[in-house]
Each structure stands twice: as C-alpha cells, then as structure tokens.
Amino acid sequence: MKTETLLDVARVRRDFPIFSRSVRGKPLVYLDNANSTQKPRAVIDAERRFYETGYANIHRGVYLLSQEATEAYDRARERVARFIGAASPNEIVFVRGTTEAINLVAASWGRKALAAGDEVLISEMEHHSGIVPWQLVCEERGASLRVIPVTDEGELDLAAAERLFSPKTKIVSLIHVSNALGTINPVEAIVAMAKARGVPVLLDGAQAISHGPIDVRALGCDFYAFSGHKLFGPTGIGVLWGRESLLDAMPPYQGGGNMIHTVTFAKTTFAPLPFKFEAGTVNIAGTLGLHAAMDYVDALTWPAIEVHERALLDRMLAALGEVEGVRLLGAPRRRVGVVSLTVDGVHPHDAGTVLDAEGIAVRAGHHCAQPLMARFGVPAAIRASLSFYNTPEDCDALAAGLRRAIEVFRG
C-alpha cells in the first residue's frame, strides 16, 4: 500500500472545529454522516468571508461587489462541473438539495413526458425523496410506479429489474448508494438496460457523492442529483446535473426573478440554461461553501479517502459482529460505510439514547426509507455511518455503547 493513499486522520480532524468539543462530557463520536456531514474550517471560512467582506446579490449589479459575487458564483458552477465530469457548466443547476433536484425533474420533465398508462421505474430501497415526487406526478398524469425489489442481502434484483422494463417505461429514477444499507447499486448495468430501450435515467447521488469520484458522463445517466451538506458543504445548496438537450427541452420549474428573459402581461420568455431553473435569489454563500468543500475533498484525494473508509467499515463490521443480539440489515457485497442494525430486546430509539449518553451520535428511525424497513420486517433501525474523519476507535466505541444499551434494557 502506497503511503500517499493514507490519510493523516489526526490532522484531518483538526480541520473540523466541531471535533474540539465534547458531548455529555465525552469526546464526540459522530456516526451520522449519511444524514449530514460535518464542515471543515475551509468551508466555514468561505461563507464567513463572503458575508464579511464581499456580500452582494449576483447578476445585473454594475457595482464592484455585485460583479465580484457574480464571478465567484460562476466559478462555483464551473467547479461543480469539473468535480462530477459534466460536459458544460450550463448543465449544472443549483437547487436546495437532492430533494428539490428530484422534484424539479419529476415536475418539469415528468409533467411534459408522462401520460396516462406510462410507468416510472424506481427501487425498493429509494429514499422518500425518490418516491414521493414521482407518486405526485404519476397521480396527476395517470402514470404508475414499478418497483425493483431488494434481495435479503440488500442488493437490487437485476433479473427482476430487466423484467420490469416495458414499452410503457418512460424513466428510471434510482438511488446510487443506499442511505440505509450503504449498498453501491449496479447503476451502470441498469443504465445499460435503460439505454437499450431509449429510457432516460435519474440517479440520486446524495450518498455516493462523499465516498468516491463521480463522472456523470462515464455513468451514462441523464440526470444526477446531490446535496452540498452531504459533501462537507453547507445546507441549503445542492446540484441537479442534466444533459443539456434534456434540460433545454424542459419547462421552468418555478417562475420569478432571474429565470426570465423578457416579461410582458401577454407573454414571458425565459433565460437560457441553467438560469431558467434558478428562480429568485439563490444561495450564493452556499455555492461558495460547496466550492470550498470540493477543493478540500480533492486535496485529500479519493484514493486516500476510499482506502481509509474501507478499513473503517471492516473494523465496524468486525466490532458489531462481536456484540450479541445485533442484527445487521442486509449484507451487500459492494457498500460504503453505512450500516443499519437492530438489537434484540432494545428499541432503536432507546439504544440511540444510551449511545448519546456516551457521546455517540447515530440515527434511529426509518431513515426516510419506510418501504425498505418494511422489506426487512422492522419499523425502525439504528444507523451508523462513517466518513473519512472517523477513527477505528469510533467503531469500537459504537460496539461498546451497544453493549451498554443491552445492559441497561436487558440486564
């Protein structure tokens, strides 16, 4: 193993101010990264500098502050395009997050393309934001959802996926990495199935974006969505990437300032891409924070991140395997550091409360994936999720905390 692929985790943790604090008198063990990641000082400083020394609204301002802010905003769009391998910055639409990105496609593309009897293909492991927007537009247009089932191992049934395609299939909307199981889905295979039938594909990249490099052109999809706060950036900023030809043909998602070319009471004409989809005052500071987050991740390098996170996942799985009564949901062959589990005789919320008393932050609930929880026969689960600033000791602390929960509730 080459040394340049290894992270200096102690140094990395010093870049994140939150790790200098304690929680309930204990060192913070943050294992809720699938929900939202912590922020390095570089991201915090980027937003602070903008508000302290360079704040102005973008576009149309002829004064210096506005011109500088506009240029910084444009550079952020170019940075995102490079980060995910987009062909052009015009394919990058800034939104509030993955949820809004999927809603945009469902509302804009869906209302135009779907008709009565058409089908939208999703999977059983989708986040609610990959289910509800399509349900809404299907109900409106008279279309229906078809669902790719999940195996006991927590993987998509590819044979079933192939069978679910039909002449009525108009789009595939698929989570790239499961937010509940950590499964890395075989999206290339499903994209190939779709392309053979001329069906576009939207990938929900909310969980994938912080665990490895993304190249949207190599993936072959038509839309890709992710949130900044999952990538060590600010909340309230996200990205929809779409093929320029598709975005250009789609009607606006919202109306207002910034997305127009001309307005009269008789007719409105719209701005070119990507501004057609960015109505109103956007989260300018958020785009600058996202730019800084991408710079930070690239400086660490993906090979180093992937090697470290793989070692952490192995450590966590081994540690959890030694805790009697712990049941893991699924056992996918390809996964990131996201693990959902139950503990015999202990409710997930009770276990989460005990873990919190030990300074350990995990998620307890259905993880916005109620159909997937039903598939595994549980109403809720504990979810522990890793990032590159976690340590082997964090994994051991989780196992010790679960043993403590078992002692408290089972005696």
Q: What is the pLDDT of residues 85-144, one digit of tens each?
A: 999 999 999 999 999 999 999 999 999 999 999 999 999 999 999 999 999 999 999 999
- Tell me the mean pLDDT in the region 351-358: 97
4: pLDDT strictly greater than 60? no
- Percent of the chain residues past pLDDT 70, beyond the cut: 99
Q: How far is Cα of residue 202 from the mean position of the Cα atoms in its chain?
A: 13
Q: Could you say which DSSP state residue 272 is in?
A: P
The predicted structure's pLDDT at residue 370: 97
| Closest of 268, 398, 278 to residue 339, by C-alpha | 398
In the chain, the largest separation of any two C-alpha atoms, in whole Å, equals 74
HEC profile of 185-254: CCHHHHHHHHHHCCCCEEEECCCCCCCCCCCHHHHCCCEEEEEHHHHCCCCCCEEEEECHHHHHHCCCCC
| Closest of 101, 77, 18, 91 to residue 288, by C-alpha | 77
The predicted structure's pLDDT at residue 294: 98
Residues 57 and 281 sit within 8 Å (Cβ to Cβ): yes
The predicted structure's pLDDT at residue 410: 81
Task: Tell me the residue length of the chain.
Answer: 411
Mean pLDDT of the chain: 96
The predicted structure's pLDDT at residue 35: 98
- Tell me the mean pLDDT in the region 54-62: 93
| Closest of 130, 127, 125, 142 to residue 106, by C-alpha | 130
The predicted structure's pLDDT at residue 6: 80
Query: Is 395 one of the catalytic residues?
Result: no
Give the tokens for residue 249.
């043909």
Residues 153 and 182 sit within 8 Å (Cβ to Cβ): no
Q: Is 10 exposed, middle or buried (0-12, 13-18, 19+ CB in 10 A)?
A: exposed
The predicted structure's pLDDT at residue 2: 40
Q: What is the pLDDT of residues 359-370, one digit of tens each?
A: 999 999 999 999
Q: How far is Cα of residue 336 from the mean position of the Cα atoms in its chain?
A: 13
Confidence of residue 271 (pLDDT cuts 50, 70, 90): very high
3-class SS at 52?
helix
Q: In the chain, what are the domains?
A: 3-36+301-410 (3.90.1150.10), 45-298 (3.40.640.10)
Residues 6+ apart with CB under 8 A from 199: 121, 165, 169, 170, 171, 172
**What is the torsion angle, in degrees rounded to the nearest 10, for the CA atoms of residue 28, residue 30, residue 35 and residue 38?**
70
Q: What is the pLDDT of residues 129-161, one digit of tens each?
A: 999 999 999 999 999 999 999 999 999 999 999
The predicted structure's pLDDT at residue 5: 46
pTM > 0.95 = yes
Confidence of residue 60 (pLDDT cuts 50, 70, 90): confident
Pairwise CA distance, residues 103 & 137, whole Å: 9
- Tell me the mean pLDDT in the region 154-169: 98
225: pLDDT strictly greater than 50? yes
The predicted structure's pLDDT at residue 214: 98
